[in-house]
């Protein structure tokens, strides 16, 4: 790592640097230099002096800084004198620049400042176009302007040659004043500067930008800064809507400014083409009670200090979103902060110590605690703890001219810190002597009245780290001036040493930052001359000073009293091993100390104070964690296509442990940086999707669910997609308080892709009033791959894969796993078929051929015929799948096929059949190919029979069953009953075959062991006499189907039966009673239904074929029947939820009932006898509770 410097300034304007390879603060060689502020960049540091001029310190390097000055000598040929400098009136100047528009004689070139010197005299460039020339450097042309060449021709009437002179920058390693801009007046006086912007260039660090603020609130930009022109050339004013007090420029394209009213301005549109930006956006202060006093900007972070010394971090800041999204409070009480390289944070504490934010990384930009910068000072090897960084009154031997008479003094109790590290609060000393370190304190001054409660509650006034002029502007003006004590000069009659009360005595702080450096310089001059220093007692206070000839300056006995720090040129990060950055330094946690410490404290008093601090409780700070990456985004607007985007997940942890996360998507539109953001607590589902064979997933929110337009993203690899899905899902579950495996009452669903999704129900989900909206349901993914899944409230979950394999869930059903619990993952495989259709049309000449009409579907297509799909271009559903077979003709198609697999129809699209007629002009056949997926999940295989449907008996919450009836259908249509299924043995032991006259295609068992089934021909049957003692029942009862309809799937609840026919209609069975469980008739409820699930509370959920008004959405949407109740079992309306490719849903485990409201007290006693409450029922049978 290269050696870099950390810069700091004390209250007297002395500038110090600390090397990353050293251990000691080094003061600038210029002992008379006094700066107010500094701002560092790569290889340089800028500063503002007491004269309000800008200064520059370029770091020494092996490569000299040289600048080439050049001018062109122009001549024209005439018949008398040949080539001469006598030109035509319309010609360019005899000495000019390359364009000829500006005169540049040799004597007009001057050094821009004293920091430059000439390397030699002017000389002629003997090359032409980079190649040596024999013409003395002359280039010839027909006229001005034209293309010049070294060859002289018969028509060459003009010529030119270039003169060159180099100048060298000789002020490297020293502070050089930036020259004034002539003839334009420079922006004086400056009160703040900030260096940044070097990361916007492809060559990092070579082209920094400098911004400045004047005391009139104007913003200026330094133009012309270049590697060969480090000083720049001129100042350009940037218009601002309000007056600015301070600003900060980041290494990239971020620029924030503090307004005098305490709010913030953000500059937008910063780029290489527009270094000054385009517009301003105002951002409010983090809290209305405290205005912003200081801002610091990094590459993608913004830190702020308010006037109550609190530190704040801006969330969501990025070049696409320079304004950010919200504020986070950070522990520690600071005067100012600075963001350096790698977004590392430095600060000046309220105790005037220097601090470093440890733990700052790209994934955790807010860090996790403050540690002191514990470097050695002077010739001593003693480490400067924060305690010794106070300018004690007894150690002041030079003048402090506090010219701000109206500055406020603070209260007694500073606010508590909120930091992750041991950052504590220390009590202030009772008195601070101003005489000397060993001057006794009069006894009568030591007894002070305790501060009143009103004084303790007064908010602490901010002491700005700036010159006295700015401090007077931002301080309150409505209070009376505070008189300051004065110290007599030597030779006068001794008097009791005045005692300066500290915050414990007066409830106020001493504004040591209000230092007039020019006044201090004048005072030192007067002191050296032996004159008596005279100041206006109403405006400032004067203290006795020592001589400038002393070996140590003011405050150097115990180290400097810091006022400013800049780490813009200090290359450190969280993993750097720096000797003066140690988390175990002395008094690491002294961030809440008062600004002034008594130098008369003894070591015993200091040790007692440390012990007192160590007994105080720690406070947890807020923190921010960020994960960044690159994905592809399916653009929301037309033309829709994949766009490369940057993404970031930002999570904020509050002091009470609560977390809040935001997901950002950064993209470019017409060369303009833009972004999308999604609050994690608003995310309702994270669903892997099939899109162009990519590793894609969709992010749903309630709003995007209603709009039917999820945020679709794709990763470059399966690992990246799984990492992002896992990370986002964990954040979603954490913010909703969901952890562990699914609960017993969870809703289970599968997508058309085979992913298993789970929703944890609430009491309001099935409430008759104020029902939980379906689009607000949060779905999370459970590892596994299934076609359908069924559950009940005892925690049993079974699923069937696309290949018919049965699986039983082996999770812990909502119980938190302990360290001793072993989670046994099983290998799960699934095989499914991919289909393409070959289409042909008949013509009289050639018969059936692949030459169709222009309006026909593609000759190779999907089943709908809307999308072209050839065998060569068709891939597995996702990259997780792999082919396990070759393409073959599929003869198992609805409607039948001929011996070659063809199906015939009159035209596209109509119903196809398996035999050819005279009216059939088109035909098709289906090609199939199998693919396989392998993963590990909490699903245990139940061999050996392949299943097509399964059903578990639903139970109420209070039910207790030793064995749970499980009915299923094999892939051949056989009816099966699983024996010995229980919570302890979810897979059961064996299958019991139930005899039937024909194969079945759907089966369901409801309350009171009601078993209903549908045969493959659409006939409906009811199984009689099924019980726990007789699990297989006795016989089948035929139930008439709806008129002219063929049912394909049904679901039985506690007391109701719903079925779906082949046309997507939903039917309700009327007249079901305990004495007549077969019911009486079918009633049509709705259409547009593909699957139905009826729960133990008779709640009805379906998979809708589509959502009305959104025809472009992929079929399959979760839908809830609203208004279902004992008096209204059919419900009233549909509530559409998440959609776009959902295959199956099961609500048969949700027996969570909404709590019933208490009955209002009756006004009069009932006229009749009270009826006994009915007994509780479990699964339809009356049982005692």
What is the rounded distance in angstroms from the CA atom of residue 35 to the CA atom of residue 14?
7
Does the pLDDT value for residue 944 go beyond 70?
A: yes
With a cut of 50, say whether residue 618 has pLDDT above it. no
Q: Is pLDDT at 445 greater than 90 in this prediction?
A: no
The pLDDT score that the predictor gives to residue 131 is 79
Q: How does residue 943 score in pLDDT terms, banded at 50, 70 and 90?
A: confident
User: Which residues are within 8 A (CB) of 737 and not within 5 positions of it... i.e. 6 or more apart?
Assistant: none
Greater confidence (497 vs 1082) lies with 1082
DSSP 439-481: PPPPHHHH--PPPPHHHHHSPPPP--SS-HHHHHHHS-SSSPP
| Choice between 461 and 1008, residue whose per-residue pLDDT is larger | 1008
Q: Where does 966-1116 show beta strands of DSSP type E?
A: 966-970, 975-979, 990-994, 1000-1005, 1011-1015, 1020-1024, 1035-1039, 1047-1052, 1057-1061, 1066-1070, 1081-1086, 1089-1094, 1100-1104
Q: Per residue in 100-133, pLDDT tens?
A: 999 999 999 999 888 999 999 999 998 877 778 7
Answer whether residue 492 shows pLDDT above 60.
Answer: no
Assign 447 to helix, strand or coil. coil
Least confident of 159-173, 433-447, 879-893: 433-447
Q: How much is the mean pLDDT over the chain?
A: 79
pLDDT over 50 (residue 549): no
The pLDDT, as a whole number, for residue 1061 is 95
Q: What percent of the chain has pLDDT over 70?
A: 76
Nearest CA-CA partner of 94 in 102, 82, 81: 102
Please check the confidence at residue 28 and state whether its pLDDT lies above 80: yes
More confident site: 1108 or 437: 1108
Place of tokens 């050696």: 3
What pLDDT was estimated at residue 382?
Answer: 54
pLDDT at 1039: 92
State yes or no: pLDDT of 888 exceeds 90.
yes
User: Mean pLDDT throughout 446-475?
Assistant: 41
Among 192-201, 558-567, 764-773, the least confident range: 764-773
User: CA 977, 980, 983 angle in degrees (round to 5)?
Assistant: 115
Determine the Cα–Cα distance for residues 60 and 1023; give it in Å rounded to an integer: 94
Predicted confidence at residue 983, as pLDDT, reads: 86
Confidence check: pLDDT of 408 > 70: no
The reported pLDDT for the residue numbered 1148 is 92
- Separation between Cα atoms, residue 49 and residue 852, nearest integer Å: 85
- Output DSSP code: residue 615: T
Rounded to whole angstroms, the Cα distance separating 726 from 766 reads 30
Q: Is residue 75 very low, low, confident or very high in pLDDT (cuts 50, 70, 90)?
A: very high
**pLDDT for 231-285, tens place per residue?**
888 889 999 999 999 999 999 899 999 999 999 999 999 888 888 999 999 999 9
- What's this model's pTM, rounded to 2 decimal places? 0.72
For the record, the structure tokens of 59 come out as: 């770091």
Can you give the pLDDT at residue 1156? 58
Between 840 and 1168, residue with greater pLDDT: 840
Name the least confident of 74-83, 207-216, 895-904, 1151-1160.
Answer: 1151-1160
User: Could you read off the pLDDT of 823-858 as tens digits, one per residue?
Assistant: 678 899 999 999 999 999 999 888 999 888 988 999
* Lowest-pLDDT range of 53-67, 101-115, 199-213: 199-213
Placement of tokens 């209603």 in the chain = 706
The answer to whether 728 and 709 have CB atoms below 8 angstroms apart is: no
Q: What is the pLDDT of residues 810-823, one digit of tens each?
A: 886 644 444 444 56
Q: What is the pLDDT of residue 409?
A: 33
Q: Which of 449-458, 727-736, 1107-1116 has the lowest mean pLDDT?
A: 449-458
Cα–Cα distance measured from residue 744 to residue 960, given in angstroms and rounded to the nearest whole number: 13
pLDDT-based confidence at residue 876 (cuts at 50, 70, 90): confident
Angle at 988 between CA 985 and CA 992, to 5 degrees: 165
User: Which residues fall within 8 angstroms of residue 394, CB to CB, at 6 or more apart?
Assistant: 432, 433, 434, 435, 436, 437, 438, 439, 598, 599, 600
Give the model's pLDDT for residue 877: 80
Q: Which residue has the tokens 């953001």?
A: 677
Q: Could you give the percent of the chain with pLDDT greater than 90?
A: 45
Segment 1110-1138 mean pLDDT: 90
Q: Is the pLDDT of residue 443 over 60?
A: no
- The pLDDT-based confidence of 692 (bands split at 50, 70, 90) is confident
pLDDT of residue 703: 93
Q: How far apart are CA 870 and CA 228, in angstroms?
A: 62
Strands across the sheet containing 44-49: 35-41, 44-49, 54-58, 175-177
Is residue 474 pLDDT above 80, yes or no? no
pLDDT at 612: 42
- d(CA 699, CA 711) in angstroms, rounded, equals 5
Determine the pLDDT at residue 418.
Answer: 39
CB 14 within 8 A of CB 8: no
Inform me whether the pLDDT recorded for 493 exceeds 90: no
The predicted-structure confidence for 305-350, as pLDDT tens digits, reads as follows: 999 999 999 998 988 999 998 899 998 899 999 999 899 999 999 9
Q: Which residue has the higher pLDDT, 27 or 381?
A: 27
Alpha-carbon distance of 1020 to 1038, in angstroms, equals 6
> What is the rounded CA–CA span in Å between residue 853 and residue 29?
90
- Say if residues 622 and 418 touch (Cβ distance below 8 Å): yes
User: Which pLDDT score, from 0 to 100, does residue 1118 have?
Assistant: 94
The DSSP annotation for 1117-1142 comes to EEEEEET-BTTBTT-SEEEEEEESSE
The gap from C-alpha 1020 to its chain's centroid, in whole angstroms, comes to 55
**pLDDT for the residue 1154:** 65
Residue 42 — pLDDT band, cuts 50, 70, 90?
A: confident
> Residue 690 — very low, low, confident or very high, per pLDDT cuts 50/70/90?
confident
Taking only the tens place, the pLDDT of each residue in 670-689 is 888 899 999 999 999 999 88
pLDDT digits (tens, 9 = 90+) for 647-676: 999 988 877 778 889 999 999 988 888 999
Contacts of 800 (CB under 8 A, 6+ apart): 786, 787, 788, 789, 806, 807, 947, 948, 949, 950
763 or 833, higher pLDDT: 833
Please check the confidence at residue 910 and state whether its pLDDT lies above 90: no
The SS3 assignment for 186 reads: coil
- pLDDT above 90: residue 701: yes
Residue 45 confidence (pLDDT) above 50: yes
Rg from Cα positions in the chain: 42
| Model confidence at 439: pLDDT above 60 | no
Higher pLDDT, 1063 or 203: 1063
Structure confidence at residue 633 (pLDDT): 95
């Amino acid at each position: 790592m290269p050696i870099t410097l950390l810069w700091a300034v004390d209250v007297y304007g002395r500038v110090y640097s600390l090397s990353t390879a050293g251990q000691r603060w080094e003061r600038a060689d210029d002992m008379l230099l006094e700066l107010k502020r500094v701002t560092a960049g790569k290889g340089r540091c800028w500063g503002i002096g007491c004269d309000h001029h800008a200064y520059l310190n370029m770091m020494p390097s092996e490569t000299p800084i040289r600048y080439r000055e050049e001018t062109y000598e122009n001549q024209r040929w005439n018949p008398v004198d040949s080539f001469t400098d006598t030109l035509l009136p319309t010609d360019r100047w005899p000495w000019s620049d390359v364009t000829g528009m500006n005169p540049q004689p040799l004597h007009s070139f001057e050094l821009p400042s004293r920091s430059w010197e000439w390397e030699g005299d002017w000389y002629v460039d003997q090359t032409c176009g980079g190649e040596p020339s024999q013409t003395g450097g002359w280039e010839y042309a027909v006229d001005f302007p034209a293309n010049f060449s070294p060859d002289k021709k018969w028509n060459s009437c003009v010529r030119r040659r270039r003169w060159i002179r180099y100048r060298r920058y000789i002020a490297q390693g020293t502070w050089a004043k930036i020259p004034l801009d002539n003839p334009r007046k420079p922006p004086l006086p400056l009160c703040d500067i900030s260096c940044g912007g070097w990361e916007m260039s492809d060559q990092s660090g070579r082209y920094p930008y400098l911004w400045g603020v004047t005391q009139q609130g104007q913003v200026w930009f330094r133009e012309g800064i270049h590697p060969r022109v480090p000083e720049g050339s001129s100042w350009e004013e940037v218009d601002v809507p309000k007056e600015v007090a301070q600003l900060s420029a980041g290494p990239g394209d971020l620029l924030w400014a503090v307004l005098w009213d305490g709010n913030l301005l953000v500059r937008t549109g910063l780029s290489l083409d527009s270094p000054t930006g385009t517009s301003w956006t105002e951002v409010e202060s983090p809290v209305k009670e405290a205005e912003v006093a200081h801002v610091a900007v990094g590459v993608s972070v913004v830190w702020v200090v308010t006037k109550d010394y609190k530190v704040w971090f801006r969330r969501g800041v990025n070049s696409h979103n320079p304004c950010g999204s919200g504020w986070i409070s950070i522990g520690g009480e600071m005067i100012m902060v600075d963001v350096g390289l790698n977004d590392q944070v430095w600060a000046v504490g309220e105790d005037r110590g220097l601090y470093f934010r440890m733990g700052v990384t790209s994934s955790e930009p807010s860090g996790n605690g403050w540690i002191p910068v514990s470097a050695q000072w002077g010739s001593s090897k003693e480490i400067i703890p924060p305690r010794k960084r106070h300018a004690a009154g007894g150690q002041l031997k030079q003048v402090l001219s506090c010219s701000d008479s109206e500055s406020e003094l603070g209260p007694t109790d500073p606010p508590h810190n909120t930091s992750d590290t041991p950052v504590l609060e220390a009590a202030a000393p009772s008195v601070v002597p101003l005489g000397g370190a060993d001057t006794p304190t009069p006894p009568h001054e030591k007894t002070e009245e305790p501060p009143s409660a009103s004084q303790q509650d007064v908010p602490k006034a901010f002491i700005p780290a700036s010159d006295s002029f700015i401090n007077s502007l931002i301080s309150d003006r409505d209070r009376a001036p505070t008189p300051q004590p004065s110290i007599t000069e030597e030779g006068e009659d001794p008097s009791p040493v005045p005692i300066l009360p500290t915050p414990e005595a007066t409830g106020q702080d001493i504004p040591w930052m209000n230092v007039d450096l020019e006044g201090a310089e004048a005072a030192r001059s007067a002191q050296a001359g032996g004159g008596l220093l005279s100041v206006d007692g109403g405006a400032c206070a004067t203290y006795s000073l020592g001589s400038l000839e002393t070996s140590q300056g003011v405050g150097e006995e115990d180290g400097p009293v810091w006022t400013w720090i800049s780490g813009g040129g200090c290359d450190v990060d969280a993993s750097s091993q720096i000797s003066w950055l140690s988390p175990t330094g002395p008094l690491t946690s002294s961030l809440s100390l008062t600004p002034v410490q008594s130098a008369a404290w003894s070591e015993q008093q200091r040790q007692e104070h440390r012990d007192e601090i160590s007994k105080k409780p720690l406070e947890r700070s807020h923190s921010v964690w960020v994960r960044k990456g690159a994905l592809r985004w399916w653009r929301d607007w037309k033309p829709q296509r994949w766009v490369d985007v940057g993404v970031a997940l930002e999570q904020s942890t509050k002091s009470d442990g609560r977390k809040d996360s935001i997901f950002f998507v950064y993209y470019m539109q017409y060369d303009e940086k833009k972004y999308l953001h999604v609050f994690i607590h608003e995310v309702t589902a994270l669903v892997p999707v099939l899109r162009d064979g990519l590793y894609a997933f969709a992010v749903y929110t309630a709003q995007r669910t209603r709009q039917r337009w999820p945020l679709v993203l794709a990763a470059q690899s399966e690992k990246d997609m799984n990492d992002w899905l896992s990370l986002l899902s964990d954040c979603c579950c954490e913010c909703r308080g969901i952890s562990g495996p699914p609960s017993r009452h969870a809703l289970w669903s599968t997508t058309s892709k085979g992913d298993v999704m789970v929703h944890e129900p609430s009491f309001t989900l099935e409430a008759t009033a104020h029902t939980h909206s379906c689009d607000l349901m949060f779905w999370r993914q459970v590892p596994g791959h299934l076609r359908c899944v069924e559950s009940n409230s005892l925690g049993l979950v079974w699923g069937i894969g696309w290949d018919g394999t049965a699986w039983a869930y082996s999770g812990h059903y909502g119980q938190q796993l302990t360290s001793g619990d072993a989670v046994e993952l099983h290998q799960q495989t699934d095989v499914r078929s991919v289909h393409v259709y070959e289409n042909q049309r008949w013509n009289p000449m050639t018969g059936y051929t692949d030459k169709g009409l222009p309006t026909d579907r593609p000759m190779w297509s999907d089943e709908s015929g809307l999308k072209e799909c050839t065998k060569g271009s068709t891939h597995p559903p996702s990259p997780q799948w792999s082919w396990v077979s070759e393409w073959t003709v599929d003869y198992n198609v609805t409607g039948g096929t001929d011996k070659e697999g063809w199906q015939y129809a009159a035209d596209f699209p109509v119903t196809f059949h398996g035999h050819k007629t005279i009216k059939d002009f088109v035909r098709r056949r289906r090609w199939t190919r199998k693919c396989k997926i392998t993963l590990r999940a909490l699903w245990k295989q139940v061999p050996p029979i392949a299943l097509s449907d399964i059903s578990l008996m639903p139970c109420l919450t209070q039910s207790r069953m030793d064995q749970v009836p499980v009915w299923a259908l094999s892939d051949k249509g056989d009816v099966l009953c699983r024996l010995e299924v229980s919570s302890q043995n979810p897979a059961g032991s064996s299958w019991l075959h139930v005899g039937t006259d024909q194969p079945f295609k759907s089966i369901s068992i409801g309350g009171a062991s009601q078993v209903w089934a549908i045969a493959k021909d659409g006939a409906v049957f009811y199984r009689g006499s099924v019980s726990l003692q007789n699990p297989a029942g006795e016989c089948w009862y035929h139930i008439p189907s709806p008129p002219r309809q063929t049912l394909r799937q049904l679901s039985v609840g506690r007391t109701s039966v719903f079925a779906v026919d082949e046309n997507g209609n939903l039917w309700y069975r009327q007249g079901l009673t305990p004495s007549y469980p077969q019911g009486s008739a079918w009633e049509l409820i709705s259409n547009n239904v593909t699957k139905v699930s009826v729960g133990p509370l008779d709640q009805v959920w379906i998979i809708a074929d589509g959502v009305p008004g959104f025809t472009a959405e992929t079929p399959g949407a979760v839908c809830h029947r609203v208004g279902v109740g004992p008096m209204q079992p059919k419900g009233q309306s549909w509530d559409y939820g998440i959609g776009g490719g959902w295959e199956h849903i099961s609500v048969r485990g949700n027996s969570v009932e909404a709590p019933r409201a208490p009955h209002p007290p009756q006004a009069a006693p009932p006229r009749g006898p009270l009826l006994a409450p009915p007994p509780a029922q479990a699964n339809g049978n009356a049982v005692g509770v």
